[in-house]
């Protein structure tokens, strides 16, 4: 099959979010299975400044209408280290910026124009490809207009939409609908209109041939009001086209047996040397060495859905113990400020770093004992998969997505390797932390759970096979139509 993926993130962006993780691993696994895969993404300043990315400019300029204005895209081509063909869409007024979606916690005011333009160029690029793609696979709201445009233009592509962040929907004022240049009939409840506004993700849900989310339990849960982020009714109406595929962990990028960023590599049979990473992590961040208690780690976006409103109220209690806490990530300025204040209050116990750093991210996984995942929403659970692979036991909220990955520890049945809580309250979160903290003192049992965690298999090979089956079924339906 010839598969054209369209995403606002992917190689070579050095990002820690779920979208970048998917676009690093899924195309590679599909290529291993014999398929032709290409990726289209914007040519950001961050990409241009990476000197090890060799690109060539194609003799293809694509002029696109955005309302009454016209903008030109230049197309660059590159190959990822894994051999993935990548088409960069260059339009410096839109993408030559310090951030991808915004700066200082605020989105860019013209994000509607930026990503409507990106979607339009990607569709036009697909139309011009020889040989033509069999499928267009769009990812998240920045590419969610692709199925709408392909349907309106009557293009012979099967369209798949993956939703990784349901809370982020591309929700813009109604006036931005003019940028799509779609007929007015599309700005209705049966189109991209949602409560009087333009909602790009809703459009993708309505017009894609299949919508994919992270696993069947999550696919069912987002059809309910608590987890549907306002789109639960839309998702229920289109449930027949909703599919759940649990993503995998990128075992090339996140593998303690070959991780170049760890001082000493380790596996299930050598977990004792994990202590070297623990010591290096605390030393590098100038935290007090050798705590009696665990080292807690978080590599995440600082946004409400990640549960920071649960973490902040228990910070003083947590850090009154002889433990360490390391947090890496950026997001809501209010959370960033609160963590900065806490780090100043507990300089020997808490380290917070704002800017993403790949080496530190790996060292946090290698050197932590416990991962904190108190999320309000956690569809994919990538951070949990990575942590388990490094022998880091998670304290996490028992959401449908998380329960596919983490089994709650139960001494009576001798099962589990994590510590789950269910009520979205700081006290429930604290009770789970306390359970983990008490078990940590039982080193033989803790190490047994570490070995159980490391042995878990969340490879992308399984997920890629399921995507392949989904693609084939859709192409068979099109052929039979």
Q: In angstroms, rounded to a whole number, what is the distance separating the alpha carbons of residues 414 and 431?
A: 20
Do residues 172 and 164 make contact, with C-beta atoms less than 8 angstroms apart? no
pLDDT computed for residue 275 by the predictor:
93
In a domain, 20, yes or no: yes
Residue 213 has pLDDT above 70, yes or no: yes
Rounded mean pLDDT of 101-118? 94
Tell me which DSSP letter residue 408 carries: B
421 in the same domain as 356: yes
| Predicted confidence (pLDDT) per residue in 46-101, tens digit | 999 988 899 999 998 999 999 999 999 999 999 998 889 999 999 999 999 999 99
Q: How far is CA 40 from the centre of its chain?
A: 17
Q: In angstroms, rounded to a whole number, what is the distance separating the alpha carbons of residues 458 and 436?
A: 23
Q: In angstroms, rounded to a whole number, what is the distance separating the alpha carbons of residues 29 and 466?
A: 11
In a domain, 379, yes or no: yes
Query: Bridge partners of 363?
Result: none
Least confident of 16-25, 356-365, 411-420: 16-25
Which residues touch 67 (CB under 8 Å, ≥6 apart)? Answer: 178, 179, 181
226 in the same domain as 356: no
* Structural domain count of the chain: 2
139 in the same domain as 98: yes
281 in the same domain as 158: no
| Predicted confidence (pLDDT) per residue in 120-137, tens digit | 999 999 999 999 999 999
pLDDT computed for residue 13 by the predictor:
84
In a domain, 255, yes or no: no
Per-residue pLDDT band for 21 (boundaries 50, 70, 90) equals confident
For a pLDDT cut of 70, what percent of the chain falls above it?
99
Q: Which has the closest alpha carbon to 224: 234, 216, 210, 215?
A: 234
pLDDT computed for residue 340 by the predictor:
95
Structural domain that includes position 191: 2-248+461-480
pLDDT computed for residue 17 by the predictor:
66
pLDDT computed for residue 431 by the predictor:
98
Q: How far is CA 8 from the centre of its chain?
A: 12
Check which CATH number belongs to the domain holding 282 and give it: 3.40.50.2000
Per-residue pLDDT band for 291 (boundaries 50, 70, 90) equals very high
| Predicted confidence (pLDDT) per residue in 416-433, tens digit | 999 999 999 999 999 999
Do residues 202 and 170 make contact, with C-beta atoms less than 8 angstroms apart? no
Which residues touch 340 (CB under 8 Å, ≥6 apart)? Answer: 352
In a domain, 159, yes or no: yes
What integer best gives the mean pLDDT of the chain? 94
Q: In angstroms, rounded to a whole number, what is the distance separating the alpha carbons of residues 184 and 148?
A: 13
Locus of tokens 């100038």: 286
In a domain, 433, yes or no: yes
Residue 478 has pLDDT above 70, yes or no: yes
Which residues touch 221 (CB under 8 Å, ≥6 apart)? Answer: 227, 399, 400, 401
In a domain, 275, yes or no: yes
169 in the same domain as 106: yes
Q: In angstroms, rounded to a whole number, what is the distance separating the alpha carbons of residues 47 and 12?
A: 6
Q: In angstroms, rounded to a whole number, what is the distance separating the alpha carbons of residues 86 and 27?
A: 11
Q: Which has the closest alpha carbon to 430: 296, 290, 291, 288?
A: 296
For the beta carbon of residue 334, count every other beta carbon within 10 angstroms. 14
Q: In angstroms, rounded to a whole number, what is the distance separating the alpha carbons of residues 236 and 455?
A: 37
292 in the same domain as 210: no
Do residues 437 and 395 make contact, with C-beta atoms less than 8 angstroms apart? no
439 in the same domain as 331: yes
Strands 102-103 and 193-194: unpaired
Per-residue pLDDT band for 250 (boundaries 50, 70, 90) equals confident
pLDDT computed for residue 417 by the predictor:
96
466 in the same domain as 452: no
194 in the same domain as 53: yes
Edge to edge, the sheet with strand 197-199 lists 171-172, 197-199, 193-194
Q: In angstroms, rounded to a whole number, what is the distance separating the alpha carbons of residues 375 and 311?
A: 10
Q: How far apart are the first and last CA of the chain?
A: 19
326 in the same domain as 232: no
Higher per-residue pLDDT: 468 or 249: 468
Q: How many CA atoms lie within 13 A of 24 on its CB side?
A: 19
Q: Which has the closest alpha carbon to 245: 8, 470, 16?
A: 470
pLDDT computed for residue 301 by the predictor:
87
Q: What is the largest CA-CA distance in the chain?
A: 69
Q: In angstroms, rounded to a whole number, what is the distance separating the alpha carbons of residues 72 and 201?
A: 25
355 in the same domain as 319: yes
For a pLDDT cut of 90, what percent of the chain falls above it?
82
pLDDT computed for residue 474 by the predictor:
97
In a domain, 76, yes or no: yes
pLDDT computed for residue 16 by the predictor:
52
DSSP H/E element including 243: strand 242-244
Do residues 149 and 123 make contact, with C-beta atoms less than 8 angstroms apart? yes
Query: Bridge partners of 47?
Result: none
Q: How far is CA 477 from the centre of its chain?
A: 30
CA 245-376-457 angle, to 5 degrees, is 35
Interior/surface letters 195-228, b for 16+ CB within 10 angstroms, e for the rest: eebbbbbbbbbbbbbbbbbbbebbbbbbbeeebb
148 in the same domain as 71: yes
In a domain, 428, yes or no: yes
Do residues 297 and 372 make contact, with C-beta atoms less than 8 angstroms apart? yes
Per-residue pLDDT band for 14 (boundaries 50, 70, 90) equals low
Least confident of 115-119, 193-197, 246-250, 461-465: 246-250
Do residues 296 and 434 make contact, with C-beta atoms less than 8 angstroms apart? no
| Predicted confidence (pLDDT) per residue in 353-405, tens digit | 988 888 999 999 999 999 999 998 887 788 899 999 999 999 999 988 788 89
Q: In angstroms, rounded to a whole number, what is the distance separating the alpha carbons of residues 209 and 157?
A: 10
């Amino acid at each position: 099959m010839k598969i054209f993926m369209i995403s606002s993130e992917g190689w070579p962006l050095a990002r820690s979010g779920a979208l970048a993780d998917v676009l690093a691993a899924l195309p590679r696994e599909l290529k291993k299975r014999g398929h032709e895969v290409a990726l289209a993404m914007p040519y950001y300043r961050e990409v241009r400044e990476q000197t090890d990315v060799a690109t060539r400019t194609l003799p293809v300029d694509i002029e696109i209408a955005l309302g009454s204005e016209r903008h030109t895209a230049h197309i660059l081509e590159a190959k990822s280290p894994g051999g993935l063909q990548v088409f960069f869409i260059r339009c410096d007024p839109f993408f030559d910026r310090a951030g991808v979606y915004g700066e200082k916690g605020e989105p860019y005011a013209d994000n509607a124009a930026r990503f409507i333009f990106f979607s339009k160029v990607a569709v036009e690029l697909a139309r011009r490809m020889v040989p033509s793609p069999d499928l267009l696979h769009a990812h998240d709201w920045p590419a969610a207009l692709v199925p709408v445009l392909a349907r309106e233009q009557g293009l012979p592509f099967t369209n798949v939409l993956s939703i990784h962040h349901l809370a982020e929907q591309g929700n813009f004022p109604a006036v931005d609908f003019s940028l799509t240049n779609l007929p007015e009939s599309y700005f209705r409840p049966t189109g991209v209109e949602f409560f009087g506004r333009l909602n790009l993700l809703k459009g993708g849900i309505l017009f894609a041939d299949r919508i994919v989310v992270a696993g069947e339990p999550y696919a069912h849960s987002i059809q309910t009001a608590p987890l549907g982020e306002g789109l639960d009714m839309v998702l229920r109406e289109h449930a027949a086209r909703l599919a759940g595929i649990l993503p995998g962990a990128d075992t090339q990028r996140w593998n303690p047996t070959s991780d170049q960023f760890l001082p000493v590599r380790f596996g299930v049979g050598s977990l004792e040397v994990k202590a070297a990473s623990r010591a290096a992590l605390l030393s590098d961040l100038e935290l007090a060495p050798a705590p009696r208690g665990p080292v807690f780690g978080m590599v995440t976006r600082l946004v409400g859905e990640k549960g920071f409103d649960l973490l902040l109220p228990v910070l003083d209690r947590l850090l009154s113990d002889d433990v360490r806490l390391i947090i890496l990530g950026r997001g809501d300025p209010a959370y960033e400020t609160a963590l900065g204040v806490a780090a100043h209050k507990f300089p020997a116990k808490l380290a917070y770093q704002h800017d993403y750093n790949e080496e530190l991210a790996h060292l946090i996984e290698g050197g932590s004992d416990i991962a904190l995942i108190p999320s309000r929403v956690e569809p994919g659970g990538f951070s949990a998969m990575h942590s388990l692979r490094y022998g880091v036991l998670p304290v996490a909220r028992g959401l449908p997505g998380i329960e596919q990955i983490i089994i709650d520890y139960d001494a009576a049945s001798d099962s589990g390797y994590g510590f789950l809580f269910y009520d979205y309250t700081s006290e429930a979160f604290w009770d789970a932390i306390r359970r983990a903290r008490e078990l940590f003192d039982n080193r033989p049992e803790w190490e047994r759970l570490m070995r159980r965690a490391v042995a878990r298999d969340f490879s992308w090979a399984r997920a890629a096979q399921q995507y392949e089956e989904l693609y084939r079924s859709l192409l068979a339906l099109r052929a039979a139509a």
